[in-house]
Chain A
Amino acid sequence: MQTEDFDIGAEIAALRRADARMGAIASFIGVVRDVNEGESVNEMTLEHYPGMTERALEQIVAEAKARWDIVDVLVVHRVGRLAPNDQIVLVVVTGAHRGEAFAACEFVMDYLKTRAPFWKKEATAQGARWVEARTADDLAAERWKQ
Chain B
Amino acid sequence: MDRVNLPGGPAVIPDAASRPAIVLLFARLREAIGTAQEHLTLPDEVRDVAGLLACLRARGGAWEAELAPAKPIRVAVNQEMADSATPVRPGDEIAIFPPVTGG
Q: Does A42 contact B (CB under 8 A)?
A: no
Q: Does B27 contact A (CB under 8 A)?
A: yes
- In this complex, what residue of B is CB-closest to A79? B102
Q: Does B97 contact A (CB under 8 A)?
A: yes
B76 touches A120 (CB 8 A): no
CB neighbours (8 Å) of B76 from chain A are 49, 52, 117
Q: How many A-B residue pairs have CB under 8 A?
A: 72
Q: Does A48 contact B (CB under 8 A)?
A: yes
CB neighbours (8 Å) of B28 from chain A are 119, 130
Knowing A51-B79, A130-B28 are in contact, say whether A117-B103 is a contact too (CB < 8 A): no
Q: Does A118 contact B (CB under 8 A)?
A: yes
A49 to B27, CA, bound (A): 10
Knowing A113-B100, A117-B76, A132-B101 are in contact, say whether A52-B27 is a contact too (CB < 8 A): no
B97 touches A48 (CB 8 A): no
- Give per-residue flags for A101-133: 1 if the beta carbon is below 8 A from chain B beta carbons, else 0: 000000001001111111111000000001111
B-to-A contact residues, CB < 8 Å: 24, 26-28, 72, 76, 79-81, 95, 97-103
A-to-B contact residues, CB < 8 Å: 30, 46-49, 51-52, 55-56, 77, 88-89, 109, 112-121, 130-133
